[in-house]
Structure 1
Amino acid sequence: MAKAPLCLVADIGGTNTRVALSDGTVVREDSVRKYRNAEHDGLESVIRSYLAEEGVERVDGVCACAAGPVKDGVATLTNLDWTIDIETLRRATGARFSALLNDLQAPGHALGHIAHERLIPVIDGPRQSGASMLVVNVGTGFNAAPVHESEYGRVVPASECGHINMPVRDEADLRLARFVEKAHGFPGVEDVMSGRGVERLHAFVTSEAGAPVTWTTSQIIPAIDSGTDALATETARIFCRLLGTETGNLALIHLPFGGIYLVGGIARAFARHYGPCGFAEAFRDKGRFAEFMEQFSVVVLDDDFAPLTGCAVHLAHLMR
């Protein structure tokens, strides 16, 4: 049996970059390293540091996914002042094969290569084999991408839907939109459904209560988990309802009868709160289409390294 090619895969987020080695479609779990972006001036610096630490001179292929739009082989990160291109990847690694993906395309390619125990049910429902799927990322930012199977292989179109208008269902949502607009200039989905979105929601809730405070996400999540802070609990309720509403909107747009997958650190942090905080009810709140919404299943993909796996799978397909 031919030896699988040695490749380098990278997941570039707004705060950290994860790098690993892969043998074909399989990521070497013991090779995963995380680097703080603030400590480097670009991806090339991160990759060169990684290869030196691993004692690897060159690899056969390299694939990176970036939290921002990718066009013509160039990625511009939304929440980080880095610009990444294919030439940077080749120069840093000496690889013959290279690819650059949006951060949602990578988990889309990973679907079907993630262990079943890593899938946490949110809404039970049928998953039709071979049908379109949907990946929704909630982390430092927000994004979503459909996943289509074709005769030429899997297709995961890029998207930047985190920057469309946030959903407004009632008067409270309208007050929230105006609150966000005052601070940010535009009430987008990412402004209320992301790491910083949790902070804005909590600021809104405490302002509405007449006791405004400024907390970070790392303070808010433990307060939500403890269940002892009423305003943190209200923040969780609004977050889960908005996320359910927006995920339902995306389901109607893309019809992912193959399943909907929530990914990202914030999506995982709220996993046990979706049920009690009304995610499913908001997801299905589509008037006469409420019954239609029962055709979709939703799970949390509890695998922090899914983007790396997706990069490895996509690169293996290209190299074939």
Structure 2
Amino acid sequence: MTSQTAQRFSLVADIGGTNTRVALAQGAVLREASIKRFRNADYPGLETILRHYLEAEGTPDCAGVCVAAAGPVAHGVATMTNLDWTIDGATLTRATGAGLVAILNDLQAQGHALGHIPAQNLRPVIAGGEADPRAAKLVIGVGTGFNAAPVHETPWGRVVAASECGHVNMPVRSALDLKLAHFVETAHGFPGVEDVLSGRGLERLFAFVSVEAGAPAERGAAQIMDGLEAENGAGLSTETARLFVRLLGAEAGNLALTHLPFGGVFLCGGVARAMAPYLGAMGFEAAFRDKGRFAGFMQNFPVSVIEDDYAALTGCAVYLDQGAKG
């Protein structure tokens, strides 16, 4: 590899609460063979991961680096929500030597990936109306945590606004939901969306459902999904999944009315992908459209699940290729 060739590469990373994915990109295109996954618990911080990755790749000369972090980014510094890491530009420069450095919230990266994800990696959930590619879009991440980001096309390029909407109040539609809110607020004194719509949220929902059934129990998220497949439509895991899907539909509908994403709503994240086969049968659409006199209006918003595990990496590559703007 010549120095001239190496200068065309960028380093991109997607830092979740559990794993970090790293890859090289040429322009807006990932080099799929370069994608590697690292377990965060095995490393003291991101800098060590990036150094390890670059050494394994033959120390390519990176022109730019962009990382997507699962947590708020303020003044160029990312604070991970579910991991004790803080990431800043100096960290990325030390690790890579890149001249162009950018840090995005993970949902912002997903937003920049829209339009660059193959159609076969988008699973339709609600057909909705004909999506306008120039209209606002919305990405909703459901994984280790919960968050969402609106995507806007402007004459100056795409703008993806950051948020931390996973920490607003969970949706309450019924007396049972209110009871659930009191049940989950014991985690840290507030019943947030993420407390019910995330991997750990799924576990809290199972605990709640089991208590309501008079048989208190605990299960991990993977066990719940395994139980869902084994129960054949009846059991605590199935009841938990139905509750999860209803709450997800309600919150996605709330966010759709907030941002008016006529260009489409896109669900992403490991839990969203795991739940995708069940959304139709378990009432996601009914909960999404359960907005009183605005129920008919909700048909304007098509909903899909992003089944591309590397979409955030693509979004980072696109962002760098566009000059790290927006």
How would you bin the TM-score normalised by the shorter chain? Answer: over 0.9
8 Å CA contact 2:125–2:303 kept in 1: the answer is yes
Aligned residues: 319
Task: State the partner residue of 2:244.
Answer: 239
Task: State the partner residue of 1:112.
Answer: 115
Quote how far apart the aligned CAs of 1:57 are: 4.0
Q: Within the alignment, does 1:257 sit opposite 2:275 as a pair?
A: no
Give 2:146's aligned amino acid: F
C-alpha distance in 1, partners of 2:133/2:312?
22
8 Å CA contact 2:102–2:324 kept in 1: the answer is no
- Equivalent of 1:172, from 176, 197, 211? 176
C-alpha distance in 2, partners of 1:117/1:50?
29
Q: Within the alignment, does 1:15 sit opposite 2:21 as a pair?
A: no
C-alpha distance in 2, partners of 1:75/1:114?
25
Task: State the partner residue of 1:149.
Answer: 153
Structure 1 segments (4+ residues) deviating >4 Å: none
Q: After superposition, what is the alpha-carbon deviation per residue over 1:288-307, rounded to whole angstroms, capped at 9, x for unaligned?
A: 00000011100000000000
SS in 2 for 1:183: coil
Quote how far apart the aligned CAs of 1:227 are: 3.4
Identity rate, percent: 62
Give 1:298's aligned amino acid: V
Task: State the partner residue of 1:160.
Answer: 164
Quote how far apart the aligned CAs of 1:87 are: 1.1
Q: Within the alignment, does 1:48 sit opposite 2:34 as a pair?
A: no
Where structure 1 has 5 or more consecutive residues not aligned to the other structure, the ranges are none
SS in 2 for 1:68: coil
SS in 2 for 1:148: strand
Mean CA deviation greater in 262-271 or 54-63: 54-63
Quote how far apart the aligned CAs of 1:129 are: 2.3
- Equivalent of 2:217, from 213, 220, 223? 213
Where structure 2 has 5 or more consecutive residues not aligned to the other structure, the ranges are none
Task: State the partner residue of 2:41.
Answer: 38
Give 1:82's aligned amino acid: W
Quote how far apart the aligned CAs of 1:319 are: 6.4
Task: State the partner residue of 2:87.
Answer: 84
Quote how far apart the aligned CAs of 1:235 are: 0.4
Mean CA deviation greater in 297-306 or 48-57: 48-57
SS in 1 for 2:255: helix
Q: After superposition, what is the alpha-carbon deviation per residue over 1:121-171, rounded to whole angstroms, capped at 9, x for unaligned?
A: 100022012000000000000000000001111000110000000000001
Task: State the partner residue of 1:309.
Answer: 314
Task: State the partner residue of 1:288.
Answer: 293
Give 1:42's aligned amino acid: G
C-alpha distance in 2, partners of 1:303/1:227?
28
SS in 1 for 2:11: strand
Q: 1:319 to 1:141 in 2, by over 3 A?
A: closer
Alignment root-mean-square deviation, CA: 1.3
C-alpha distance in 2, partners of 1:7/1:204?
46
C-alpha distance in 2, partners of 1:194/1:319?
30
Task: State the partner residue of 1:101.
Answer: 104
